[in-house]
A and B are shown apart, each in its own frame.
Chain A
Amino acid sequence: MDAMHKSWWSVLMALILLALTMPAWAAEVMVFSHRPMRSVESFTQQLQQLSKHDIAQTTQVDALAGAKLVVAVGAPSVAALAGKVSQPVLAVYITRQHYLQYQAQLRSALFIEPPLARQLALARALLGPEQQLGVLLEAREQWSEFSAQPLRADGTVDSLLGPLRVVAVSDYDSLNHALVALLKDSHALVGVYDPELYSAANIKNILITAYRQNVPLFGPSNAYIKAGALATTHSDMAQMAQRTAEMLDLAIAGNWPAAGYNPYFHVRYNEQVARSLNMVLPDAQALAAELADPSP
């Protein structure tokens, strides 16, 4: 009885071990996260459904050995892989800033944030093309991270589809001083993906200051919608999986895509804020389609 019990256990353990380790050497593409997360599992499942490639998920660096290609989810996962894998790594759910930081160890990346140009286009679509928009930066030098268009000394930028003024906090005594200067002439504040500037501590200040002057904030990402931003473009998990699958196809075919933003996105609104600003918002789906394909 005892022996039988023991052997039953060993079979089970062997099966479990097999189950746990088998995909590690079997899968062509390994999705890696630095610790177990339900959402990464869910992302992997969506990826598996969309991709014809053999995809598995792990949190163990050792388990990546047999894979042809590694998809690292999030910046901490990328950091956890540093110097430990030889395969090409595609980073997803990573900010452009982090990508630049880890660029040496990454083959390509899919950014988590929406591109500034698209956020500007969104603001213009909602407010009218000729309204002056404002962009707040920590420092002027940052501008090149967000746009290739040169920033003039007076804070204006040419040909971003309409008037734009960029103000850097470092040019003023304080964030509020810079905000006041910017809000004086701007009809909307378009957020850049800078988690330090748009930190939890600052966002309250920025949102309330802008709102007191009836100026809406766009973005910088979906998370800010709940806080009180008016609208943003946002790629959900299905869209992230869709683009990741596309990138994997290209990569496995030997045609690695460049790191970039997700071309698949939704438009998200904060209806309450829009209502309070007496704004009528167009259909979000139609607007997303229009922004994705700006040709008339």
Chain B
Amino acid sequence: MRTWPYLLLATVAVEAIATSLEDELATESLGLEEPFALATELPVVLSASRLRQARADAPASVTVIEAEQIAAWGVRTIPELMRFVPGMFIGHGDGDNNASVTYHAGNPNLTRRMQVLVDGRSAIRPGIAAVVWDDLAVALEDIQRIEVIRGPNSATYGTNAFVGVINIITRHPADSIGTRLRYQAGNQAIRGGFASHAGMGELSSYRITANFNSDDGFDGRATGEDDFRDGRRHGFVTGYYHRQLSPVSQLNLQASLKRGATEMHINDGDPWQDPPDQHVNQQYVLGHLQFDHSAEHSSSLRAYWQRNDRRVDSRACVPSIGFDPGLFTLYQQNPAWVETVFAADQQLLGLLLSGAATPEQVEQLTGVTVTQPQVEQVLAVLGRAIDTSDPSTLANLQEESCGLVNWDIVEQRYDVEWQDTYVWSDTLRTVMGANLRRDQADSDTYYNGYAKNDTYRLFASGEWRFAKRWLLNLGATYESEDNNDNVFSPRLALNWQLQPQHSLRFVASQAVRSPDLLEQEPEYSLTARDLTDNYLGLDQGTYFMNQTPDSRQLDHEKITSWELGYYGNFSQYGVEVDLKLYRTFQTQLISDPINLQTISVRSDTAMQVQGADLQVNWQISPRNQLWLASAYVDADVTLGDTSGLTSKDIRDLQRVELRASARDSVVASWIHTADDWRFAVSHFWADAYGDAAGLSQRYRRYEVNVNRHWQLGRYRPYLGVFWHHLIDDSALVYLRQRYEVNDIYFLRLGLEF
């Protein structure tokens, strides 16, 4: 739904374009040859349905980052750009080696409560909900603008637009015409290359971009060598083709091929013999047809397909008994019992091997409730391992066997959306449409094969200027899914224009996030191939630990948000201010980690978040701009059913939603633009990550980007230096997310012509 991007199509201005009778006569009835006749033939180009919505009319809190700022800040990744958005926190997933972006508060391991769109294509993985930022396949140089909608917006963007939407809009090929080359290199093994060429013909334009990015990630500690295996190397080629099909219709085709490798480290106690690095191959094709039927009516059809093939494998060594098929089914019935047996307590073994163990005795000894058949199943497993007449077979309990395991997954998404925008009058406009989406995943490990989820969505919103200074915006989405309940997500926004370009807004909205295929319907197990010799005589075995519920019956994560905002543009001072006061109630949150070990996944965490976001843009002079973003976040987590959890589990759960947030945070950036050079100095201050969770990792850093260009005829070479200095030594979110040095820098060389 990109074309109702949030800074949407403007409302038809109350004042009609002033064209007096004289003008009409002079320009239309004179009937002279040019310029008069010509003038009358001018089409209405920037029609009401084409114009973006004025900031003061937006039914949400929006932060817009333009290409100019992206170039001025000079950061390498999109998450790094999100640091400039009030209330956004950047974390890093420990398990996936992937940056995470959190708005106000949320799980720092993966970005899944936020919709991320690139020209309308969702970057959320179809199978395992998360945004893998390295897989976005968009070069920062190709971005025209990023509209960050801070607040739930399922009414316009569907499920997953839970706490916000990051809407990335790439440049039209006609706007990037020519050739652009760039190379960068710095410490921490930072390397990056970019080459792009765009051209155009009479009716069409195209762009081809190739890009690669690599670095060696965190160092794992504050001193010494980089001993943390978390580097990344990703590259892609994208193509963009635009064609004007007729005066009222245009076609836009995009396609991409991407390859990448993300290193993974091995934690102490992991059974992996090789680092389970992720190797990704990704493709997508997107087609977008836009029809401008008239100045008042436009519609669009967008369809895309994307495929992500992720290969992860490692050799794993575990006790052979873990591959006994008897344990696999028993684990499904009584995981605690299997875990207890697997811990191989001598007393328990003695009791079991005595041959006369009763469920009561077992419970007395271990505290685990079991049934007689479950005891017998364990006896059968032990019987395969141990021959009571041969004491040497006891060693089988200690036997380890090694095999190849994988977490390979192929995820695909098919998405088709029709959208229709109609301007009924100067005061009323509507957008409505329908969307069909198929998310599918193929993985032996996660789903025991193929899994899919189809979603059907209808959406509509209307914008009604019911009085001169009042604008009412009502929107809603209705979604029906195979794997989850049907949902209705409404939004109401009321904007009161105090003065032109000054408005107060009140926004009430509800949004949901659908549990993904792995959360809701996993068939998660690890099968090891090419097993080394084992007493079971297996060449291939499935580890007992598994998750195969028919359906977890998880509810949607739900958010209700109340927001009071003010937007003001003091153009005489060049100051733009946006203040947002909010309170959100999030319920049915899924806080449990989604992994093989976590047996019980519940959607019962509740979180209340309240606070304020402030954004100020001050154009001090044409050459100097100040960007200020600050946030106050007061978040409180209430856990649901914690029965069966250890106190550590409970503490971890309590912390997980809060550890990537800081109660107070400020970002200030000064951008100076001279004729042939430019610099940006930024200061980030988060005091402190996880403070609401009793952690306190203060994060402060300076960042400087200087760029100098020369115009030599049509050639424009440039040279840039980016340098960031971390003031605090504390790790980012998790302990080992730190660098051995406090300074990270790189040099950038480029040429445009």
Contact = CB atoms under 8 A, between A and B. Distances in A.
Interface of A: 35, 37-40, 42-43, 73-77, 93, 95, 112-113, 128, 130-132, 154, 171-172, 174, 176-177, 180-181, 183, 187, 193, 195, 199-200, 203-205, 207-209, 211-214, 221-228, 234, 236-238, 240, 268-273, 275-276, 278-281
Contact of A199 (B15, B38, B66): B38
Task: Among B23, B25, B26, B52, find the residue whose CB has the most chain A CB atoms closer than 10 A.
Answer: B26
A227 B171 CA distance: 23
A144 to B, nearest CB: 20
Contact of B32 (A76, A131, A199): A76
B34 interface: yes
Contacts of B43: 200, 203-204, 227
A39 B39 contact: no
B34 to A, nearest CB: 5
Given A37-B29, A76-B32, A236-B26, A176 B205 contact: yes
B54 A180 contact: no
Given A176-B177, A240-B26, A272 B41 contact: no
B44 A226 contact: yes
B200 A272 contact: no
Contacts of A40: 30
Interface in B1-37: 10-15, 17-20, 22-23, 25-27, 29-36
B175 A200 contact: no
Contacts of A181: 714
A174 B622 contact: no
Nearest to B32: A74
A43 to B, nearest CB: 8
A212 B144 contact: yes
Contact of B23 (A154, A209, A236): A236
B22 A271 contact: no
Contacts, number: 173
A93 B319 CA distance: 95
Nearest to B502: A280
Given A74-B32, A276-B54, A213 B175 contact: yes
Given A130-B621, A226-B44, A221 B39 contact: yes
Given A176-B177, A203-B42, A227-B43, A280 B714 contact: no
A268 B576 CA distance: 25
B667 interface: no
Nearest to A213: B175
Interface in B38-63: 38-48, 50-57
Interface in B143-168: 144
A204 B176 CA distance: 17
Contacts of B144: 212-213
A171 B753 CA distance: 13
Given A195-B34, A212-B172, A200 B42 contact: yes
Given A223-B39, A278-B56, A209 B46 contact: no
A172 B31 contact: no
Task: Among A43, A187, A280, find the residue whose CB has the most chain B CB atoms closer than 10 A.
Answer: A280
A131 B622 contact: yes
Closest 3 CB pairs of A and B: A228-B46, A223-B39, A237-B22
A75 B32 contact: yes
Contacts of B30: 37, 39-40, 73-74, 93
B319 to A, nearest CB: 62
B501 interface: yes
B48 A272 contact: yes
Nearest to A228: B46
Contacts of A214: 66
B46 A271 contact: no
Contact of A209 (B31, B35, B175): B175
A184 to B, nearest CB: 9
A38 B46 contact: no
Given A75-B32, A195-B34, A275-B54, A180 B175 contact: yes
